[in-house]
Structure 1
């Protein structure tokens, strides 16, 4: 028997956001314990917010979905700041930092493209 799927689960931007969440959870496990209620929590919540808002907005009217995508985009920016702080505090190696920056830039472009598509539709 095949598992039921929701439409938003087919969106590449949603799938990419889940990959980002997995990476952030794995990386932040290595952050200092004193960051558990600080940067670790904030970074995880911002990443989760990207996926949650894509899911929550899908299936709504186009203007409503765009509003949720804007919230997702703001969460991407929040993740950029978390990555910057983590790198400055030496919690991330330069290679990891660059990988996050690349992935976040790509997610930002994907969300923006989807917003533009919904505006034309």
Structure 2
């Protein structure tokens, strides 16, 4: 199965869209700081799923999904920092829920891959 058919990839792509929308309103002084960092963390999630899917088997896929999980945790922390700094002016709930959904899917996918090792 290609990465584009995976629910975890699709949901992480939706998360990227939400991240770009919410960070569009951040202060311009953060363009090369927190805005950039948050966007890179978000983009890293589906990118690592895609890269791992194109590699040589389940061992490498497992590793790349682990990296995606790390990026999700990094993103969560960065979003909470932005929220605490009052940079997030829209409702935080949708992005928080989407991130939780992605993290659950990543965990399930990693557990599935582990059974194939």
Pair in the same fold by TM > 0.5 = yes
Aligned to 1:3: none
Aligned to 1:42: 37
Whole-Å Cα distance in 2 between the matches of residues 72 and 84 of structure 1?
A: 18
1:21 correspondence with 2:16: yes
Q: Of 92, 106, 117, which residue of structure 1 is paired with 2:88? A: 92
Instruction: Within 5 Å, give how 1:67-82 maps onto structure 2.
Output: 67-82=63-78
Return 5+ residue gaps in structure 1 as ranges: 1-5
Whole-Å Cα distance in 1 between the matches of residues 115 and 49 of structure 2?
A: 18
Larger Cα-atom Rg: 1
How far residue 101 of structure 1 moved from its aligned partner, in angstroms, is 2.1
Q: Of 46, 59, 77, which residue of structure 2 is paired with 1:63? A: 59
Q: Say what the alpha-carbon RMSD is for the aligned residues.
A: 1.5
Return 5+ residue gaps in structure 2 as ranges: none
Question: Higher relative CO (CA 8 A, sep ≥ 6), structure 1 or 2?
Answer: 2
Give structure 1 regions of 4+ aligned residues with deviation exceeding 3 angstroms.
Answer: none
TM-score, structure 1 as length reference: 0.88
1:112 correspondence with 2:104: no
TM-score, structure 2 as length reference: 0.91
1:32-80 Cα offsets, whole Å, 9 max, x none, are 0000001100000000000110000014311110100000000000110
Whole-Å Cα distance in 1 between the matches of residues 24 and 65 of structure 2?
A: 28
How many equivalent pairs are there?
115
